[in-house]
Structure 1
Amino acid sequence: MRKIVVLVLLLSSGIVMAQKMKLEKGDLKFLSGQKEVNVEFVYDNLKLMKEKLSETDYVTKRAAELNEKSKGNGDIWKKKWKGSKELIWNPKFLELINVVLVKGKKEISFQEELKSAKYTLIVDVVWIYPGWDAAVMKQPAKVSTVLKFVETANRNNVLAEVSSEEAPGDQWGNNFSNESRIGEGFAKTAKSFAKLILKEIK
């Protein structure tokens, strides 16, 4: 029985781990020689779950479910969810993209609030699936984004656009925090994106 469970886990993880990243428009050669890039995270178009709920609907539904199980837990979770963008998801993306670029010997710093940078990367988060962890079996989170480079002084000038679909978010061992799993999806997005940049400007 144990062997069957392990096999199912391996097969399911193999399916889940498939991330699609594609350069949809332009190229990334303009990044050659750049030392810094401004980054902005946008959640205005975010949908969640397979049903593609709006963030407001998802938070309302999830909080109600948690409050029903244990009074007050849903309200606590709402605060955690609200803080996750600034405390977990955005920092995970920034940390990993910079780490991979440094390892690839490219001195390009991606940071928020770099208003003087010539180019801005807009990370448009369009879909999130939080995943789940039931100890014996689990489903990684998935994060889909549109990564768009624009001129900081002229946002209408789009230099490149990359789509990233279903970047998996998981860690070794158990991870019972939805917000933490989602953060790993942002980390995976950043890793793959940095590798694409290195490939394009080598």
Structure 2
Amino acid sequence: MKKILFVALLFASVAGFAQDVDIKKGDFGFLKGEKELNVEFNYSNLRLLKENLTNEQYVEQRAKDLNEKDKGNGEIWKKKWKSAPDMIWNTKFLELLLKTYGKEKDVNIGDDLKSAKYTLVVDVVWIYPGWDAAIMKQPAKVSTVLRFVETANKSNVLMEIETDKAPGDQWGNNFSNESRIGEGFAKTAKTIGKMIVKKLK
């Protein structure tokens, strides 16, 4: 009985960290032999939480809640949230894509490679920050639309992939929403990087 319970809990844990990846168009063939990949991040379509709040709505609501608990804390958090895309999320994505795809295929990956023939546009469409209350926690979740386009003609989409609810969490406790979300970006990049390497073999 204990073994059955352990297996059930293990399966539930693994299922909780699954990520849906749906290839909507194209394949990775165009990347064969390429030694550079440019990456751009777009947050203009971002929605948050189950209520699908805009970023502005979320920031206003979250800052208000934090200020009510501890005056001034909401304003401090606003600065952290504003810097999170550049300082944490985009960086995490680039690091893991380099580690999985770049290192394996000797490809230079960056967010300012204008000489690269192709650009990966990361359209961040939904984020759930998750929470951590020490003894219980909920991982962050990140959903994106990834479009591989020609750098010189970005209307030419060679491949489009939708990723749904990539889990963001770390071992132990992580009380930073921004850091947990960053792990969702890392998970997305790791999954896509491994897919590219597998398909190009």
Kindly provide the amino acid, as one letter, of the partner of residue 146 in structure 1. Answer: V
* Unaligned runs of at least 5 residues, structure 2: 1-5
| Partner secondary structure for residue 37 of structure 2 | strand
- State the alpha-carbon separation in 2 of the partners of residues 73 and 7 from structure 1: 43
Cα displacement (A) at 1:102: 4.6
Deviation string 1:16-50 (CA, Å, 9 cap, x unpaired) is 31200121101111001000111100000000001
- TM-score scaled to structure 2, two decimals? 0.93
Q: Please name the residue that 1:17 is paired with.
A: 17
Q: Secondary structure at the match of 2:44?
A: coil
Asked whether the equivalents of residues 164 and 189 of structure 1 are also in contact (C-alpha less than 8 Å), the reply is yes
Partners of 1:134 and 1:186 in 2: CA distance = 22
In structure 2, the CA distance between the partners of 1:16 and 1:193, relative to structure 1 (3 Å rule), is same
Change over 3 Å in CA distance of 1:18–1:63 after alignment to 2 = same
1:175-186 alignment, distance < 5 Å: 175-186=174-185
The whole-number CA distance in structure 2 between the counterparts of 1:11 and 1:195 is 23
Is the contact between residue 149 and residue 155 of structure 2 (CA under 8 Å) also seen in structure 1? yes
Structure 1 residues not aligned, in runs of 5+: 1-5
Scaled by the length of structure 1, the TM-score of the pair is 0.92
**Cα-to-partner distance string for 1:108-135 (whole Å, 9 max, x where unaligned):** 2221111111111100000000000000
Amino acid corresponding to residue 54 of structure 2 in structure 1: S
CA contact (8 A) 2:100 2:193 kept: yes
Q: Is the 8 A contact 1:16 1:140 kept in 2?
A: no
Aligned counterpart, 1:56: 56
Aligned to 2:90: 90
For the residue of structure 1 that corresponds to 2:88, the secondary structure is helix
The number of residues matched between the two structures is 196
Q: Structure 2 CA distance, aligned partners of 1:139 and 1:10?
A: 16
Q: Give the letter aligned to residue 112 of structure 2.
A: E
**Shift of residue 9, structure 1, vs aligned partner:** 7.8
| 1:164 counterpart SS class | strand
How many angstroms apart in 2 are the aligned matches of 1:9 and 1:75? 40
Match of 2:76 in 1: 76
Partners of 1:112 and 1:124 lie apart in 2 by 14
Matched-pair identity in %: 63
Residue 3 of structure 1: aligned partner: none
Q: Distance in 2 between matches of 1:8 and 1:28?
A: 36
Aligned to 2:114: 115
Counterpart for residue 3 of structure 2: none
Residue of structure 2 in register with 1:174 after alignment: 173
Which residue number corresponds to residue 130 of structure 1?
129
Is 1:26 aligned to residue 3 of structure 2? no
| Runs of 4+ with >2 A deviation | 6-16
